Structure 1
Amino acid sequence: MFRMAAGGNQGDASAVWGPWESNDSRCRPILTCFSTEPCSIASRSACGRRKTIQRHDSTLVVFTRPTEEHVFAAWECFVVRNFLKVASFVVLNLGCVSFSVADEQAVRQVIADYAAAFNDHHIDRISELWSADGILVDRTTGERITGRDAIVKDLRQVFRTHPNTRIFGSIDRVRFIKPDIARVSGSVRVSAPGNTTEEVTDFSALVIQQQTHWVIDTIEESQPAVPASPGEALADLNELIGRWVDESDSGQIINEFRFTDGGNFVTRTFHFVREGDVVRRGTQVIGWDPRSGEIRGWTFNTDGSFGDSVWQKADGKWLIKSTQTLADGRAASGTFVLKAVSDDEMTMELVGHEIEGEPQPAGVSVTLRRSAPEEAESGEASAADDGSDQ
């Protein structure tokens, strides 16, 4: 990049003041020397960044003015060359990995649309969501299907032989490799009538942008890693261990999570206090189900109602899909969302709440704060009344 010289006007300080440019046509750095001892160089290139370099030694480098050539005392040539090369790379390429919130939402929507099209057996829509050269890989069996047409043909057969199969996906992470390529990782639950448990698989997908829309280029599925012990499977629940209290005008909600002896289960006790009286109380046992490969919960309330739930962590939130038999025999369902705000604060909200299939008003989000044992009563409370216990 730069030419070296062993001579020149080194004694005249004014000779090195002013702008200098290299003969690199790719990204011509403009260098200005503000003093001679120590010589400080401010590098501002056409790439748009301004950096300051301090002289390392007095090895000579020649920079060319438009009209004459001067010797310039600066760094060793390879130091300057490599610095500017790296600086130019950073400036020119940082934009290549930038993305907007809208981009991530679009990528997530592609995965959601694919699950919806699968459940509706909408072959044309599925085809639109794949790239022409798409690849579907099952890491467990080694099966590999290449090309959109072959993938669609395979799914047609699946729909004929398993017409009632449904999939429910959750995304753990979206990472942009380039502005138009994103890697999505998550898990999929496969449900079919007659099966007492749901099959769970992990997936990794490459989603690419083609002109104005995003499509799936690759999906790789694999069996999730089997935990060494039930306790290991519950490791993520460590963040919930302790007592959590919500204070509001309607009353006090108190939750307490703790590991049982041996660490293979977590118990959650709760109660809801209104005007000094405990109006709701219950106990939940949370454990690992090795058959379904899921964290599950079983809840028993003092009013005679009971229920079960599936716990799943996605995007930093706990999604607790719950079903319940109320004390009067009615069936209730809903999903609790637990989201950490900090180490000592989290929110809890009930969404999609139904009783006997009838949608219920949206639940109010409550804020639970970690409480020291001496400041909280024993037990824990639910997030809402009728049918809202997990």
Structure 2
Amino acid sequence: MKFGKVTGFGLSLIALLISAQSVAMAQAPTADAAIKDRVAGFVKAYNGRNAANLSDFFTDDANLIDVDGGVIRGKAGIGAQFATGFAASSNYTLESSVESIRYITPDVAQIEGASTLTAPNEATIVNRFVTLFAKKDNVWKIAEIRDLPAPAEDIHPGTRLKELEWMIGDWVDQKGDLKIHSSVKWGEKQAYLTRVTTVAAGEETSFSSLMVLCWDSQSGQIKSWLFDSEGGRGEATWTRASQDQWVLRAAGSLRNGLPNSATQIVTVVGKDAIKTSSIDRIIGGEVAPDTDEIMMVRKAPAVGGAVVPVAPFVKPAVPAPVGVKVPAAPTVKPQP
């Protein structure tokens, strides 16, 4: 083929592409609104746990690609996947934001944005997405969704701690004159949690500690740092062992520099009761006995903002179902 013919074909192709892009640009405002409406409808169907309605948003040969690269092909397969997911117990709610729309042709658009799945006392899931929409019979349908992990800087530290939000409030354990009180609050801009614990015998405070709990971006884990009134300090990594239980791997030192370590178990029992225990304790290279289990109850806010304790927790004859989570006991403090 002669060069002139090749050049002529190339120019014709470029002209066609420019023409298509011009048409797409002219239609963009109306199409943008239609696509955003479809995204809003998708979110509504997802939050309504309606797999049949969700599958209708896809083309027959659509692809769904997760953050790990797994692919579900076809409208029927995608619908079945959603049906399976909705059958499981979950109270996650989806939110999606469209950040850009680019028209490849007047009938094909690529959108980019972010999606967030939230649920009370559960880890928040944040992803980026790239979605291809194709217009079929004058209706925009999803030809492909590709989920991508959100960059670390896109996720607010408070979002990382959402699954520990149950800790916020005042907790108390009292046996005779001995009273343990913990108050957990959000820090500045909800970037971290603070827990102040006091141990009082009668009217006199004998021990106190401050814990700061946050997302450690370097290790990709939730960590806490603790400082007590006797000069000790501790650090712990938090791992969610089950729906209702956290395991803390803690290590620190006493005022005299003696190292210590322990495994702390934090479990929620019922709506307003938690229990903590400390096992595998080592102090200065010596094995120390496990601590007694501490049961704490939430103090309910009274009218006017004051705080009053809830009724004392009474352990039932039949073990209560494990429920939520609780502030841990002071990090690795040796028994007297």
Larger Cα-atom Rg: 1
TM range (shorter): 0.3 to 0.5
TM-score (normalizing by structure 2): 0.45
TM-score (normalizing by structure 1): 0.39
